Structure 1
Amino acid sequence: MMNYAQSVVTHVIVVFQAICCCITLVNGVILGLF
C-alpha cells in the first residue's frame, strides 16, 4: 500500500511541475508578445 501511495505522490509532483513549467512558458510568450 505504501508503495502505491508513494507512486501516486511522485506522479502528482511530476504533473504539478509540468503544469508550472507550462504556465511559465505561456507567461513568457505573453510577456514577449506584449
Structure 2
Amino acid sequence: NFPRIMDIGFTAGMEDELELIADNKKPWKQLLQE
C-alpha cells in the first residue's frame, strides 16, 4: 500500500478528513471504517 500513501490525491483527501475530525464535524470512528 505504499504507492497509495504516496498518492497526492489520497494524501490530500486524508488530510481533509482529519481536519473534519479535528473540528468535530466527522466522527473519527467513521473514518476508521472507511
Matches within 5 A, 1:1-34: 5-22=7-24
TM-score (norm 1): 0.52
| Alignment root-mean-square deviation, CA | 2.3
Instruction: Say which structure, 1 or 2, has more relative contact order (CA 8 Å, 6+ apart).
Output: 2
Question: Greater CA radius of gyration, 1 or 2?
Answer: 1
Percent same amino acid at aligned positions? 5
Gaps of 5+ in 2: 26-34
Gaps of 5+ in 1: 24-34
| Structure in which a larger fraction of residues adopt helix | 1
- Point out 4+ residue stretches in structure 1 off by more than 6 angstroms: none
